[in-house]
Amino acid sequence: QQSIFPSIDRLSTMIAARTVANGARRAAVVTTQRRSAQTVPRFGTEEQMKAEALEQLKARIAAQKEISKQVHHDEAAEIAEMWKWVKISFAVAFPVCVLSSIKDLFADHPHEKEGPKPDYMAIRSKAFPWECEDCALFDPKCWKKCRAEQA
């Protein structure tokens, strides 16, 4: 029987073969026990569990010591590295901040348009909790207008 889509049949055959091969490979490989950072001793007598827990702790401490030996730098080298990055930070960050401030001071940027705002800009589920219920807290023009209307 011929299929309308021979490439799909070939693809499904390849996927099925790969799945079978992967399953066989997984079955053939002996899985090793993976332990997380928190290990639990196997069941046994209390002394056996304590001994196993101590062995695990000693192994973990030895591994940490080995890692720290590979990475360890003396204090002078670490301080020199710190000051190198402080200098790089000031050499990069300070000019960027100064140039950004200068740009913001002298470059034109859009301001809020004068006049009434569209209705969708003032949708509220409840009034503000101050005397001028319709004014935003830092909107001096609205506050002035509200107080003039109240007077």
C-alpha to C-alpha distance for 79 and 86, rounded to whole angstroms: 10
C-alpha to C-alpha distance for 64 and 51, rounded to whole angstroms: 20
Q: What is the mean pLDDT of residues 113-119?
A: 78
Statement: residue 8 has pLDDT above 70: no
pLDDT computed for residue 102 by the predictor: 92
List phi, psi (to 5°) of 73: -125, 155
In this predicted model, what pLDDT tens digit does every residue of 43-98 receive, in sequence order?
778 888 888 889 999 999 999 888 888 877 788 988 999 999 999 999 999 999 99
C-alpha to C-alpha distance for 79 and 89, rounded to whole angstroms: 15
pLDDT computed for residue 69 by the predictor: 81
Statement: residue 101 has pLDDT above 70: yes
